[in-house]
Amino acid sequence: MPVTLLDLVRQFEWSMTAAEVAFGHGTDNAFDEAAWLISHAAGIDLGAVDELPWDEPLEPAVVETATALLKRRLDTRKPLAYLINEAWFAGERFYVDERVIVPRSHLGEWIVERFEPWIEPGRVGSALDLCTGSGCIAIALALNNPDAVVTGADISTHALAVAARNVALHGVEDRVRLAEGDLFGAVGGERFDLVVCNPPYVSNELMRDMPDEYHEEPPIAFRGGVAGLDIIDRLLRGAADHLDEGGVLVVEAGSASAALEAAYANVPFTWLASEGGDPVVFLLTREELIRYFPS
């Protein structure tokens, strides 16, 4: 009897659950990851379909390919995104490999909304994405702000090679440039309308407890120091000098959010809740940065 897409997804869902694999690299559950894995094996373009063909029978070759891919996922504990060199962010497909963290920032939810109502539509003519990694945030900013010129900066030469591949993939070479350096050191004295960053924010304690899948990613993308605030502190103290009048800083603080509020209880952070209700992305204006974090 032919195996349908839904049949195989249910089988793979059970296998992943039984093996206790960890998610969080594009999916947050076994069913969705199984569907993504099998769709890749079947050559289904997830960006071109509204609904998967759940009841269609799969060719034996597709089942064989998908089964082999599942085995690699279970045996290696590598995120699926690395095994298929594909990740999705802000509705767009990106190339990824072990040189970069797998895209999954909550910033994506706000980039497609252009940070309204906190930033006026059309206000962003220039933007800086620090810790750009795969370049997904910088590219998404350019795609959703067609009049903006965006700089993606990273300290890692290897990450920037992946970012360059994605810039070419999305055809935005004329509006996205890449710069190598340590945070603002990559852009000298330049100023921008918007600075965004998904920095390393995992504390030393949480680093030790991360599942195997997360240890397959570059450690530099996670290490935030004792409280997870090492890089965020530097962003707060340096951003004002790189924002134009009326400019805005937007940062994902993730698991360091509580530590950040405790450390700076007097700072009026504006927290942008994710679709799941998690207040992990904050916004500060240039004026607020100058007041609370003077150079």
Give the pLDDT of residue 49.
85
pLDDT of residue 189: 95
| pLDDT number for residue 133 | 98
**Structural class in CATH, domain 97-292:** alpha beta
What is the predicted pLDDT for the residue at 247?
A: 96
Helices (H), the chain: 5-19, 30-42, 60-76, 80-84, 107-111, 136-144, 157-169, 204-209, 212-215, 230-238, 257-263, 286-292
Tell me the C-alpha to C-alpha distance, in Å, between residue 46 and each of 93, 111, 166, 256.
9, 21, 18, 33
**Domain spans, the chain:** 5-84, 97-292
Block means of pLDDT (10 residues each) for the chain, 295 residues, are: 92 97 95 97 89 93 97 97 97 97 94 93 94 98 96 98 98 98 97 98 94 95 96 98 97 96 96 82 97 90
204 contacts: CB under 8 Å, gap ≥ 6: 223, 225, 226
Please state, in angstroms and rounded to a whole number, the distance separating the CA atoms of residues 6 and 31. 10
What pLDDT does 50 receive? 85
Q: What is the pTM of this model?
A: 0.95
**What are the Cα distances from residue 202, in Å, to 207, 214, 231?**
6, 11, 10
* pLDDT score recorded for residue 92: 95
pLDDT at residue 279, as a whole number = 85
pLDDT score of 232: 98
- 28 CB-contact burial (10 Å; exposed 0-12 / middle 13-18 / buried 19+): exposed
Rg (the chain; Cα; Å): 20
